[in-house]
């Protein structure tokens, strides 16, 4: 009988994976908690200064808040903001939620928007005014990704290893499945199943490695190497198609400079 755990332990894979560990902030959803416009959350109404117009799609329809991250509430990880609010808006009037399949246009923020406000003391749009923007539209014309807003909290964790991503290809100079088949032969499928169960890729987090239910849309030369935010719909608070996972990735330079105008948005489902 195949024992994939023993096979992995006897290989040199674990020491290699140890070198690839990286920090992340895992995001959880407490069962209760007071929410304000500045709270880290999924869905609902977020913080938007009155100096900033509400984001819309090219047809003038309002985008929907997917998630809001208040870095003042979260632990620190290197190169990410330590303060301020980062918000992610998507187009729920679009049946593919603003996704652009053209790789060269995945960063065009016309059907999605990433907004960052370092200073959160400015007067902001109130809930009534924002809700009024949606009143002319029938909810049946929209994709409902998040039924109601839910508070998010964060904690430091370690992401042990990227699966089928450009990060794996860069480190091992090989595709994940190709590498496993060459290294483990007929036992590769059992080993991969063990790694998926043991390491539990996916989840909702900031930093760490992205997890793609299909293929990584980035090329190996892509500058979008840092995971700004990943939303996994596995816990039932969000609905991205059939248990989909959404990622927002950014270059390291833009992340350090807090330039969120050049972000690659992608989501796939199973």
Is the CB of residue 64 less than 8 Å from the CB of residue 145?
Answer: yes
Query: What whole-number distance in Å separates Cα of residue 210 and Cα of residue 71?
Result: 20
For residue 235, the model assigns a pLDDT of 67
- Tens digit of each residue's pLDDT (9 = 90 or more) over 112-142: 999 999 999 999 999 999 999 999 999 888 9
For residue 139, the model assigns a pLDDT of 86
Mean pLDDT value of segment 9-29 = 87
For residue 200, the model assigns a pLDDT of 74
DSSP3 helix / strand / coil % (the chain, rounded to 5): 25, 25, 50
DSSP string, 117-143: ES---S-B--HHHHHHHHTTS-GGGS-
Q: Please give the share of the chain, as a percent, with pLDDT higher than 70.
A: 98
Is pTM beyond 0.85? Reply is yes
- Tens digit of each residue's pLDDT (9 = 90 or more) over 177-200: 999 999 999 999 999 998 888 777
Alpha-carbon distances, residue 154 vs 53, 54, 61, 72 (angstroms): 29, 27, 32, 11
């Amino acid at each position: 009988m195949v024992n994939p755990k023993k096979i992995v332990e006897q290989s040199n894979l674990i020491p290699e994976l140890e070198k690839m560990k990286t920090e992340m902030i895992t995001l959880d959803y407490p069962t209760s908690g007071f929410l304000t416009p500045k709270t880290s959350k999924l869905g609902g109404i977020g913080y938007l200064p009155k100096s900033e117009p509400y984001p819309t799609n090219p047809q003038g329809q309002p985008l929907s808040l997917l998630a809001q991250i208040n870095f003042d509430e979260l632990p620190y990880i290197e190169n990410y903001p330590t303060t301020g609010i980062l918000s992610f808006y998507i187009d729920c009037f679009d049946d593919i939620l603003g996704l652009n399949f053209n790789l060269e246009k995945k960063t065009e923020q016309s059907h999605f928007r990433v907004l960052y406000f370092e200073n959160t003391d400015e007067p902001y749009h109130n809930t009534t005014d924002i809700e009024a923007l949606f009143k002319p539209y029938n909810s049946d014309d929209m994709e409902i990704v998040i039924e109601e807003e839910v508070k998010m909290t964060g904690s430091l964790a370690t992401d042990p290893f990227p699966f089928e991503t450009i990060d794996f290809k860069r480190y091992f100079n090989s595709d994940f499945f190709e590498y496993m088949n060459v290294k483990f032969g007929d036992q590769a499928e059992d080993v991969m199943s063990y790694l998926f169960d043991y390491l539990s890729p996916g989840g909702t987090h900031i930093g760490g490695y992205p997890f793609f239910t299909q293929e990584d849309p980035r090329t190996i030369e892509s500058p979008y190497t840092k995971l700004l935010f990943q939303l996994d719909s596995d816990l039932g608070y969000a609905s991205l198609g059939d248990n989909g996972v959404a990622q927002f990735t950014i270059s390291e330079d833009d992340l350090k400079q807090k330039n969120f105008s050049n972000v690659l948005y992608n989501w796939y489902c199973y």
